[in-house]
Chain A
Amino acid sequence: ELKVEQNPLFLSMQEGKNYTIYCNYSTTSDRLYWYRQDPGKSLESLFVLLSNGAVKQEGRLMASLDTKARLSTLHITAAVHDLSATYFCAVDEKGAQKLVFGQGTRLTINP
């Protein structure tokens, strides 16, 4: 059964600092997704990573995928307050449409 784990689950950081959120998954897959959720809101898609070595960047966020290590990272560069949110990774079970999410990382960025 596919399991998806994120760490850390909570992250408080200062503006201007860099940090990384990690997403590990338990079974073979080459499709991984990152989502953002603001408090009381729904989820919005950030990145779609579809192959080993895939890297996507949007502003201060960069996501990468290592399918051999079953690991994805979401790197935040020079954090700003607007990036405060909960970030989720999700993985497709191989060969299926079953999309499984991690627990989420609640990110708080302080001035």
Chain B
Amino acid sequence: NAGVTQTPKFQVLKTGQSMTLQCAQDMNHNSMYWYRQDPGMGLRLIYYSASEGTTDKGEVPNGYNVSRLNKREFSLRLESAAPSQTSVYFCAVRQGTLNTEAFFGQGTRLTVV
């Protein structure tokens, strides 16, 4: 029972390259989230998916796209990476009913040079 799995764990990109961060869950939860964490900024919400088939923008969506592939998987795509996207990215899941806590993956550390 892995919970929330993110791949890759580490990645170095050159400016302008593209990549997709993957998130998969085996918790059968409905809601999935992508956050980025930068020093002094806390966690900022990029996109979220309240349920399969829906996605919504969070606080900092520019430069990112997402796909809720199915109930288990939620991917985050950087089409043309920029140094400002250097960050640690966390995926989180919630059951989907209100009043429930979120469970987090182990994070992806992305460096754009």
A97 partner, pick from B50, B101, B106, beta carbons under 8 A: B50
- Beyond A97-B31, A97-B96, A98-B48, whether A48 also contacts B101 by CB under 8 A is yes
User: Across the interface, which residues of B come within 8 angstroms of A43, CB to CB?
Assistant: 43, 90, 92, 104
A-B pair count, CB < 8 Å, reads 59
How close is B40's CB to chain A, nearest CB, in angstroms?
A: 7
Contact A99 B45, beta carbon cutoff 8 Å: yes
Cα(A6)–Cα(B43), bound, Å: 12
Contact B90 A50, beta carbon cutoff 8 Å: no
Contact A97 B94, beta carbon cutoff 8 Å: yes
User: Across the interface, which residues of A come within 8 angstroms of B45, CB to CB?
Assistant: 98-101
Contact B59 A100, beta carbon cutoff 8 Å: yes
- Beyond A33-B102, A42-B107, A45-B103, whether A99 also contacts B40 by CB under 8 A is no
Chain B residues touching A, range: 20 to 34
- Beyond A98-B56, A99-B94, whether A45 also contacts B43 by CB under 8 A is no
User: Across the interface, which residues of A come within 8 angstroms of B70, CB to CB?
Assistant: none
Q: Which of B55-113 contact A (CB under 8 A)?
A: 56, 58-59, 90, 92, 94, 96, 98-107
Q: Does B53 contact A (CB under 8 A)?
A: no
Mask of A77-102 contacts with B, CB within 8 angstroms, 1/0: 00000000000101010001111111
Residues of A within 8 A of B (CB): 6, 9, 31, 33, 41-45, 48, 50, 88, 90, 92, 96-104
